[in-house]
Amino acid sequence: MRAKIIGTGSCLPTKVATNDDLSALMDTSDEWIQSRTGIRERRLVSSESETTLSMAAQAGKAALTDSGLQPEEIDLIIVATVSSDFVTPSTACMVQKELGAVCAAAFDINAACSGFLFALNTADAYFQSGIYQTALIIGVETLSKIIDWTDRSTCVLFGDGAGAAVLRASEQGIIASLQGSNGAGGHVLMCKNRGNNNPYISTDACLDYLYMDGQEVFKFAVKKETECIHALLAQAGLMPEDIDWYLLHQANQRIIASIARKLKLSLAKFPSNVDHCGNTSAASIPILLDEVHKAGKLKDGDLLLLSGFGAGLTWGAALLLW
Ligand code: COA
């Protein structure tokens, strides 16, 4: 049995921050941001009631409603995030409590922007082994709290949000999947954890924020994501044009366009929301999936290829039947 997506949901914070809004805070411009990234605006949390947990729970609830399953029918909850509100308990355990999914085992995973695909592939592995039959997977980030707002080359790229999918073990669903990591390349995109409180180790307690070498990440993204897509298509014996929809990590419209060009495909097969969401990291693919699903674009039997890359470095992809 493989994982089939039977419901989706998403949640975006209410505050819209346009490129012009950011230009009032730092030396940047709408023209620079749009021409380099395709981003017009992003949503950012702006009150104490908007948190990683609140968005994850809302997206999860919407996905459950869409699936028709009851919370207590969920066997597994996986939340992919690098910006949880608490070190412990995990966001997944807190979502379990919020939704009343009392029968689920729940844990978080950290694979940065590839996190949703790692969650999907992990749930699929549980389904293939027969351990679980249903899962709720969520990608959620409030990256705004770990971004360096004095680094204009990084802070303009990201947004906050959550996306979720309910999965059921099924005869048809995921057809092929892959994931991988290269820890040796991790220094190009990183964020140190909070200060060390160990009495034997003296460190300064100041927090570090997200650091990114944009050009290195850009090269890695285009090369690795294109390789992943070719590898996945080869696994399934398919050609690029056989896929109905490519749902790629929404980091930068230029990265998406480069990949479409390398695959010799029209951009029409590559839905995008980076213009109004920015890069929401682990949430980007499930938010996009929810948008295209709710817009009625996906038909039964469509072939979807989901692919992402991110800090770690990590990458993941899945080919599935809708
Ligand atoms: N507004 C105005 N100018 C800016 C700016 C901003 N927000 N950010 C950087 N600049 C300036 C730089 O200071 C530099 O100026 P200089 O030439 O005087 O030194 C100039 O713009 C060009 O900067 P550069 O870094 O070469 O731009 P770029 O064309 O490489 O684009 C990124 C930068 C970040 C948009 C691009 O590298 C990128 O998208 N990388 C991938 C990032 C990504 O996908 N991350 C997510 C991974 S999950």
Residue nearest to atom 34 of ligand 1 (CA): 214
Cα-to-centroid distance, 17 and ligand 1 (Å):
19
Residue nearest to atom 13 of ligand 1 (CA): 153
SS3 string of 156-190?
CCECCEEEEEEEEEECCCEEEEEEEECHHHHHHEE
pTM score: 0.96
User: Tens digits of per-residue pLDDT, 166-183?
Assistant: 999 999 999 999 999 999
Q: Is 90 exceeded by the pLDDT of residue 113? A: yes
Give the per-residue pLDDT at 95. Answer: 98
What is the rounded CA–CA span in Å between residue 134 and residue 136? Answer: 7
Residue 108 identity (one-letter amino acid): D
Q: How many residues does the chain have?
A: 322
- Choosing from 33, 146, 153, 309 the residue with most ligand 1 atoms within 8 A of its CB, the one to mutate for a pocket test is 153
pLDDT tier, 200 (very low <50, low <70, confident <90, very high otherwise): confident
Average model confidence (pLDDT) for the chain? 96
pLDDT tier, 198 (very low <50, low <70, confident <90, very high otherwise): confident
Give the per-residue pLDDT at 192. Answer: 85
Half-sphere exposure of 92 (CA within 13 A, CB side): 23
Are the beta carbons of 38 and 272 closer than 8 angstroms? yes
What is the rounded CA–CA span in Å between residue 88 and residue 84? Answer: 9
Instruction: Single out the catalytic residue among 113, 155, 191, 228.
Output: 113
Are the beta carbons of 310 and 250 closer than 8 angstroms? no
Which structure tokens are listed for 254? 């230029």
Which residues is 42 bridged to in the sheet? 17
Give the per-residue pLDDT at 207. Answer: 66
Q: In what order do the strands lie in the sheet with 105-109?
A: 2-11, 161-170, 134-141, 76-80, 105-109
Q: Is 90 exceeded by the pLDDT of residue 37? A: yes
Mean pLDDT on 300-318: 97
Which structure tokens are listed for 246? 């490519």
Q: Is 70 exceeded by the pLDDT of residue 143? A: yes
Give the per-residue pLDDT at 315. Answer: 97
CA dist list (Å): 31 to 37, 64, 320: 10, 40, 37
Residue nearest to atom 47 of ligand 1 (CA): 310
Q: Which of 23, 321, 297 is nearest to 171 (CA)?
A: 321
Lowest mean pLDDT among 89-93, 200-204, 237-241: 200-204
Tell me, yes or no, if 228 is annotated catalytic.
no
Ligand 1 within 6 A of CB of 314: no
Are the beta carbons of 91 and 151 closer than 8 angstroms? no
Q: Which of 102, 106, 117 is nearest to 163 (CA)?
A: 117
Give the per-residue pLDDT at 205. Answer: 61
Tell me, yes or no, if 103 is annotated catalytic.
no
Cα-to-centroid distance, 275 and ligand 1 (Å):
17
Q: Is 80 exceeded by the pLDDT of residue 212? A: yes
What is the rounded CA–CA span in Å between residue 42 and residue 274? Answer: 8
Q: What share of the chain in percent tops pLDDT 70?
A: 98
Give the per-residue pLDDT at 75. Answer: 98
